[in-house]
Structure 1
Amino acid sequence: MAASIDVEALANLLRDAAKAEILPRFRRLGDGDIRAKSEASDLVTDADEAAERMIKAEVSRLAPGSLFVGEESVAADPALLARLADVEKAVVVDPIDGTYNFASGIGAFGVMAAVVENGETVAAIIHDPLGDDWLIAEKGAGAVLKRPDGSSQRLKVADPVPLAQMIGMASTGFLPADVKPEILSNLAKVRYAMSYRCAAVEYRAFVGGFAHYLMYNKLMPWDHLPGVLIAQEAGAYASRFDGSAYRPHHTAGGLLVTPDRESWEILRREVFTI
């Protein structure tokens, strides 16, 4: 399903915003350039805000009439989230995914966008400003790693492996307090459980074939719409904890992404017993 928005132009826009507003500030932020939002680990920087302003302005020209849903825009107007359920066309943007890493001077962050049409994600982009490339998918067309020189590489998730050999990323910080100890204990059943505090980086590792699962409890559209579509187009199975499909308007219900449904069921039964 081809998106009605020029996906290549949107990808280039994310790159332009990174070059203009993000990279010049990396490891150059002053104390006043970093602010906490909901808690000390939930940060926003001048780079987030400037990049989102630039992307929003250009999206209004690239996709006139579309709803713009950015992380910082929603912080100012939470009602934007509810509109994703039935909007005809929207562009969802995370100007810097991994802001905590970015603010800390750690090179694990990305710029992400998804195109939503009639309540369905139809295109997705994850840009790596430091590596200067993109993960791109359109629904039904597969997922690719694309480089600025025009070359590309088809993405494919890892082959399934037994539980004890699974390597993956689990974001445990937002788990309910009553189940968190059990989940942390259960993670001893897999080979490795990591967290890069950056969905852009974690989805990249997964669709590149370097991980066997991703688990998230808090779902915000800018964090997961791009990665889930790219993962699915690379062959993954993705579902909320109750087995239902993940949709653009969902902000709860958890998310588990695996190479196939059997791996999903094993992890859901043995590890993520929420």
Structure 2
Amino acid sequence: MDKVAAILAEASAEAVEPRFRALAAGEVMEKAPGEVVTVADREAEAIIARRLHELLPVPVVGEEAVAADPALALALHDEPAAWLVDPVDGTANFIAGRPEYAVMCSLVRSGRTVASWIWQPATATAYRAELGSGAWRDGERLTRPPAPQDPAELRGSVKSRFLDPDHRRHLEANCSVFGDVSPGRHAAGIEYPDVIEGRFDFLLYWRTLPWDHAPGSLLVTEAGGVSARLDGTPYRPEAPGCVDGLLVAADPHTWELTRKVLLGA
């Protein structure tokens, strides 16, 4: 666990942090319509992938590598084990000079996340989780206390960008029941820790790219929270486009309550 944490921090220090608020012309590119990437993403992923493979020689499913070759994501199911890497989570924040970004990775075995790491460079904060062994922040064990019982006191984030207009309107109308609902902080590597730290009580995502959600989902569940598909199925990392919809909450009661309110069922 310590070796992987060191790999993320060192790759960040070498390839990411020196470019924060210092990206040169030509160092930001469009990799797909509406999706951008920087040289920091690509260089950090190359460093992390090489070092993780040296540590455990299994396939590395990196966000930028999959952008170039989508078939690489099939390793999540076709191989007994695989690494998942998000070299700069919150790339739009990073480009804009906002500190809400993270460097993340997970280890997946038999289609299940068994370990995860999140490094937040702006605060030099390291989160990690291991299946069955708990969630930790800088060596301190984390446990999320129950959220408020009254929905009017709950705080959350709802991501409706990828929903069709009718479902978006329905969802947004139902959000009025809660105390505070925001678009979030535009980086899963910030938002999932926010659930454990009590800044959010729930998160609703629609598009669930595996490198975004595997690290934080394990972190939340190991701290006592819930990360599950809208039918109640526990989260498992899937190749992009396979499964949509994910509700994360501070505890089982909050998950059930939030789902009922948001879906109106």
For Structure 1 versus Structure 2, the TM-score category normalised by the shorter chain is over 0.9
Q: 1:263 aligns with which of 254, 258, 261?
A: 254
- Aligned twin of 1:122: 114
Query: Take 2:78 and 2:5, find their aligned partners in 1: how far apart are those partners?
Result: 24
Distance in structure 1 (CA, Å) of the matches to 2:186 and 2:164: 18
Does the Cα contact within 8 Å between 1:136 and 1:144 map onto a contact in 2? Answer: yes
**Runs (4+) off by over 4 Å:** none
Q: Equivalent of 1:179, from 163, 167, 174? A: 167
Q: How does 1:73-222 map to 2 (within 5 A)?
A: 73-146=65-138, 152-161=139-148, 162-194=150-182, 195-222=184-211
Percent identity between the two aligned chains: 36
Equivalent residue pairs, number: 261
Q: How does 1:40-51 map to 2 (within 5 A)?
A: 40=34, 42-51=35-44
Checking the alignment, whether the CA contact within 8 Å between 1:200 and 1:227 is kept in structure 2 is: yes
Q: Any gaps of 5 or more consecutive residues in structure 1?
A: 1-6, 147-151
Q: Does 1:63 align with 2:56?
A: yes
Task: Choose from 12, 30, 36 the match for 2:30.
Answer: 36
* Distance across 2 between alignment mates of 1:16 and 1:168: 32
Counterpart amino acid of residue 173 in structure 1: R
Q: Is the 8 A contact 2:103 2:118 kept in 1?
A: yes
Shift of 1:154: 1.6
| 1: CA distance, partners of 2:163 / 2:42 | 28
Q: TM-score, normalised by structure 1?
A: 0.91
RMSD of aligned Cα (Å)? 1.5
Q: For the Cα contact (< 8 Å) 2:117–2:128, is it kept in 1?
A: yes
Cα deviation for residue 250 of structure 1 reads 5.4
Q: 1:26 to 1:250 in 2, by over 3 A?
A: same
Cα deviation, residue 53, structure 1? 0.8
1:18 Cα deviation from its structure 2 partner = 0.4
Query: Given the superposition, is the C-alpha separation of residues 242 and 253 from structure 1 closer, same or farther in structure 2, using an over 3 Å criterion?
Result: farther
Q: Where does residue 4 of structure 1 map in the other structure?
A: none
